[in-house]
Structure 1
């Protein structure tokens, strides 16, 4: 039977574009099917999960390494290395092609961060333990070695492969996968555009580090005003206290009251004059001014129960603002 193999081509992307094209062309010339990140770039965790499913369907896995380690996940591991580790975990037949001498590459084609250089070195050493590893010097040398290595692998280590039938066409499957990817990207763009339209367009909008002022009322137990304190501070200061209030309170009224308490407890001037029978409050005008500002900045959103919650951007801003920074 006319068996076709699907071959995954993995590498860093920007520095090896031409090399990847050559390999894809060689695979096609051999009558087989390349699968590469040009069609589904590994740039985040979600797309990595999609790529893993494609690797599952491949028969061979080609890894080309040069002077770049590539984009990294939150743990500091490159997506190229994550692909490689996954291919090994699935017992895919790996063919490795490390560049013969990284020191001979142009400066812009190599890493300059010592930590990243070490990660690339360790990754390269890991690859050298693969079953078929052949260093390369230039495009033509790489293309020649990939073609020969594939021929050896097809002959000595044949895999399941694909047999074209009306019910099972590998080319049709790849086309369907690619169409699904395009549809997913289209939907993502539409959602992003929709989200951007929901944000008010305001020129010269104050940002979190601009200074503002707010007022906190000190009341007797029966609600009679005792004194109003004017506070000058940054919008970031207010946002941090407001975000903490959202996370501590259970309903809109509690959020507002907790916010007033947070500000008063953080200001010695108010606490000095506050007696045990007194309480603190913030007026409708002051509170609404704060809410509107944070909605305009895209940090807060209204919820269905007429309350407010942090947006994804607001939650990230809050975490980065209060997290301890190593000195």
Structure 2
């Protein structure tokens, strides 16, 4: 959102009127809003409350010191110094431009009263102590100093600033935004809850419990040296539910259909049951086993169990009418378990 920053320009007035014009022109060219003595050229005690309100509305405070201390308040403090003290007390970021050679200024721009000269000297010392200041000697230097110093200050210490009223959300919009934020927070909490293991599932077979599933294949007898065809065989093998879910679940991150899952289940046997398969072939005196295939009824039993365990759910993604496949996808809890099972573990 485009912002404009308001800058309070503080200085004595009549002796620095030309310099102030340069500062104000520079601020306007930077799309900033200048505020200062032009609003209240006659400083008096009655206007002090008004001055403080203007400073309160500003984002940054710019102090310009020349050769004069300026008008005194009833307490004997110059209004420029009062403005500076007030801005510092508020914690505002202060940009200070101090004349580097006040002795070279024209007499008309310098204090003749020794008391005011001392006050100015003390004020200069206070401003220059513990603070970065810029020293200027002629009016032409001021615009560049203001532009560089303010740009850096805004970048390092961005303030609240001002925006157009039509860019600020109205009350109804703010209420709607707040309502949506609450809704988002509630949904995030619900998702976090869904990622945890649901209650009431302890009576179901799961995790490292074993399930025996059939797998079909074709093979020849080891004693058969002819060109006879391979014969069909079927054996039962045991896997854990986690073995099966670990292998199938990555394909369900988006969704997958039962035909593809059946192929993956067949490959799952070959990964986790390689030794059992070899032993079964040896016991059956079989060789040249090919075409390992899981059975649809076993896959559907597995999918039913995963659904009962709240690990998967039917996909709601739209498909063409010609696509008659059944698609499944992970639940938030299923996604969490899939990540835990498949994430690469650190080895000590």
Q: TM-score, normalising length from structure 1?
A: 0.50
* Higher relative contact order (CA closer than 8 Å, sequence separation 6+): 2
TM-score (norm 2): 0.47
Indicate the structure (1 or 2) with the bigger Cα radius of gyration: 2
